Structure 1
Amino acid sequence: MTSVEILEEQIAELDSASFAKLRDWLIEFDQSRWDKQIEADSNAGKLDFLINAALAEHQAGKTRDL
């Protein structure tokens, strides 16, 4: 049995309060990992194409004030 399968069995046995606590922790943990990945990608220049596209649209007059 894999570690994931063991975790799945253990999670299935949790009471509602414990499951809710785990779910909230997983959501926060996932968001934190996502933020770190976005920051790493940004620092590596992998998102520069988005900045360049937005600047080009703005310079072409395709944007509006919010």
Structure 2
Amino acid sequence: MTKLEKIEREIEALGPEELSHFRAWFAAFDAANWDARIDSDAASGKLDALAERALTAHRDGRTRPL
């Protein structure tokens, strides 16, 4: 059995309250990892080309207000 399969079985065995707590924890955990990845990509310049394309589109009038 893989590590992931073990985790899946443990999650399946959780009661409703524990599952609710797990969901909240995992959502926060996942969001923090996502934020860290975005911060890392931004700091390394990986997002510079995308930002420039967006700014160019805006300057060229190819955007609309939200």
TM superposition shift of 1:59: 2.8
TM superposition shift of 1:60: 2.3
Counterpart in the other structure of 2:19: 19
Counterpart in the other structure of 2:52: 52
Counterpart in the other structure of 1:7: 7
Q: CA RMSD in A?
A: 1.6
* Letter paired with 1:28: A
- CA separation in 1, counterparts of 2:65 and 2:12? 50
Unaligned runs of 5+ in 1: none
TM-score by length of 1: 0.83
Unaligned runs of 5+ in 2: none
Identity of aligned residues (%): 39
* Letter paired with 1:34: W
Q: 1:62 to 1:9 in 2, by over 3 A?
A: closer
Q: 1:21 to 1:65 in 2, by over 3 A?
A: closer
4+ residue stretches of structure 1 with deviation over 4 A? Answer: 63-66
- CA separation in 2, counterparts of 1:29 and 1:18? 16
Counterpart in the other structure of 2:62: 62
